[in-house]
Amino acid sequence: MQTSEKHKISGKYFDQPVQELESHCWPPNQSLDHYQSCSDDGGNGLQYSVQNLEQYCTLESSSGMQNSSSTASFSPNGSPVSQPNSQSYPSDLHHSPDNACSSPVSGSCVTDNEHDLKHMIRQLETAMLGTDSDNFDIYAINTSGGATQISIEEERWKYMMEMIARGDLKELLCACAKAIDNNDMHMADWLMTQLRQMVSVSGEPIQRLGAYMLEGLVARLASSGSSIYKALRCKEPASAELLSYMHILYEVCPYFKFGYMSANGAIAEAMKDESRVHIIDFQIAQGSQWLTLIHALSARPGGPPSIRITGIDDPTSAYARGGGLEIVGQRLRKLAESCKVPFEFHSAAISGTEVQLENLGIQPGEAIAVNFAMTLHHMPDESVGTQNHRDRLLRLAKSLSPKVVTLVEQEANTNTAPFFPRFYETMNHYLAIFESIDVTLPREHKERINVEQHCLAREIVNIIACEGPERVERHELLGKWRSRFIMAGFTPSPLSSFVNATIKTLLQSYCDKYTLEEKDGVLYLGWMNRAIIASCAWRC
């Protein structure tokens, strides 16, 4: 049985103009770029927010998680549980006791009438202007410039209130991210207080995604871009539990299965006349991708070829496997023996950034296939440092004169995009995945929270919270990958019609909202016409 082990918790897994993104969050002519911070001292505002928010920097749920020293966590029903903070902005703004966070997003947690709205705005004025604001007549300002500015500020807060009343979680998340991007800590802190009442790890797809995106925003402030593990402070599940979570995700979502099947089809097609096959997998993980290929090659007319697999993987993956790469070799060797396929396994327990020619064990007379499945987006490029490992590895692959090179990657733009466009892209990309999980895996499924938390949440928080070398989730759109491959000297190798038919047959057993599109020799698997995974093959 296959697992999605390539989708590791340490990180796996459309461009829109910034102006358009801003208009998504704000009314016309009210961009936050012109919003003035309410803090008298920007530094103090940031320090205040970090102190207030650090307590929420955890993704602990009751499902299989241990309590940490953090002062806040997710309660057993999946709702965020916050400890009181006397210094925070008013959080008791007409929240009724029955406003359970696991309920669908609605206006029930905010204002019910115009009087409450005015009351909330007045409370916000108090937070902005200080405790003496009751003696400060905001409408009696003689200076026209000051009156205009305060009027604009009031309109912005009113707009926030309207979004909350509508239960527009996507817009509020965007508004919070924009406030952070503009270093408006007062607005960001207040919006986070409201968002905590609306998100839930056990709610609707946008509520569940929102919970992890909010954690990313909190971690971005409290951790200043520290590593994902420090930001989340989560206790790791046992390796067997983690494998179970990844397997569930692999079965309920066809994205990863689709990727591996299409890559295997391209390799089988390229190697149909070869007697000695050497597959170099730059992130072999559990090695399950190759189980179906060994079976397929064993049935090849004229007999199977001899197969040698070089498995490359970061030594930290040993945790998810429950041991070193020798476990992968033993598993594949046992299968090959049962299929009467001559087989060798060569391990290279090193990071992809460290791979050199001598690590690959190349032998004369063998046909080489190079597999980059869900791995190149972890390699830093020229935007991160002086060493561009993405392009270096492609040049290294080209020097091997391979028969085929396969690429499977998420179709998203989170590498060089600035923070706010990256936040917006992440929300849309992962919302499609959460929605597809919701169709296949019932919300009451006891393991669903763990599946999303350990297989997806860390990616989301890493993209939002981290920068520089600590941000390892750096997806690129297929157009950028195409440019890199062509620059390295490769040409496209369209997938065969047989591979396409196989994928279409696979999709028939899933929800009809999944889409499959072939364009310029590339296969795109998507959800409701949004491409999620791109798969393609290249030759020298």
Contact indicator for 258, 506 with CB cutoff of 8 Å: yes
99 within domain boundaries: no
d(CA 136, CA 128): 12
In terms of residue numbers, what domain contains 202? 150-235+413-474
Q: Would you call 407 helix, strand, or coil by DSSP?
A: strand
Nearest to 205 by CA among 442, 497, 525, 507: 442
Helical spans, DSSP H, in 113-204: 114-129, 144-166, 169-181, 185-196
Q: Is residue 493 part of a domain?
A: yes
Question: Domain ends where: 474, 490, 521?
Answer: 474
Asked whether residue 531 falls in the same domain as residue 392, the answer is: yes
**Which SS3 state, helix, strand or coil, does residue 464 take?**
helix
DSSP state of 94: S
Phi, psi angle pair for 531, to nearest 5°: -65, 130
Q: CB-based burial of residue 292 (10 Å sphere; 0-12 exposed, 13-18 middle, 19+ buried)?
A: middle
Residue 267 lies in a domain: yes
Q: Residue 46 domain-assigned? A: no
Asked, for residue 89, whether it belongs to a domain, the answer is no
Number of domains in the chain: 2
- Give yes or no: residues 180 and 324 share one domain: no
DSSP-assigned states of every residue in 327-372: HHHHHHHHHHHHTT--EEEEEE-S-GGG--GGGS---TT-EEEEEE
Q: How far is CA 138 from the centre of its chain?
A: 44
Asked whether residue 311 falls in the same domain as residue 458, the answer is no
Residues 6+ apart with CB under 8 A from 122: none
User: The dihedral of CA 202, 205, 210, 213: what is its sign?
Assistant: positive
For residue 422, being part of any structural domain is answered with yes
Query: Is residue 305 located within the same domain as residue 364?
Result: yes
Task: Please list the pLDDT of the chain residue by residue as tens digits (540 residues).
Answer: 444 444 443 333 333 333 344 444 444 333 333 333 333 343 333 333 444 444 444 444 333 333 333 333 333 344 443 333 333 333 333 333 333 333 344 333 444 555 555 555 555 555 444 444 344 444 444 445 555 666 776 777 777 777 777 878 999 999 999 999 999 999 999 999 999 999 999 999 999 999 999 999 999 988 644 554 444 444 566 667 777 788 888 888 888 888 999 999 999 999 999 999 999 999 998 888 999 999 999 999 889 999 999 999 887 666 666 677 888 899 999 999 999 999 999 999 998 899 999 999 999 999 999 999 999 999 999 999 888 999 999 999 999 999 999 999 999 999 999 999 999 999 999 999 999 998 888 787 878 888 898 889 989 999 999 999 999 999 999 999 999 999 999 999 988 888 888 888 888 888 889 999 989 889 999 999 899 999 999 999
Residues 331 and 346 in one domain: yes
Burial class (CB in 10 A: 0-12, 13-18, 19+), 497: exposed
Q: Say if residue 262 is in the same domain as residue 395.
A: yes
Does residue 94 belong to any structural domain of this protein? Answer: no
Domain limit, last residue, from 458, 474, 490: 474
* Cβ neighbours for 444, distance < 8 A, ≥ 6 positions apart: none
Rounded Cα–Cα distance for residues 160 and 168 (Å): 10
Question: Of 474, 492, 526, which residue constitutes the final position of a domain?
Answer: 474
The answer on 504 and 422 residing in a single domain is no
Amino acid at 311: G
In terms of domains, do 499 and 486 share one? yes
Verify that 300 and 402 share a domain, yes or no.
yes
Question: H helices then E strands: how many in the chain?
Answer: 19, 11
Asked whether residue 518 is domain-assigned, the answer is: yes
Which of 533, 270, 501, 530 lies closest to 405 in space, CA to CA? Answer: 270
Please indicate, yes or no, whether residues 294 and 335 belong to a single structural domain of this protein: yes
Judgement on whether residues 219 and 323 belong to the same structural domain of the protein: no
pTM summary value: 0.73
CA distance 88 to 52: 7
326 and 395 share a domain? yes
Bridge partner list, 345: 309
Three-state SS for 261-329 is HHHHHHHHHHCCCCCEEEEEECCCCCCCHHHHHHHHHHCCCCCCCEEEEEEECCHHHHHHHCCCCHHHH
CATH number of the domain enclosing 357: 3.40.50.150
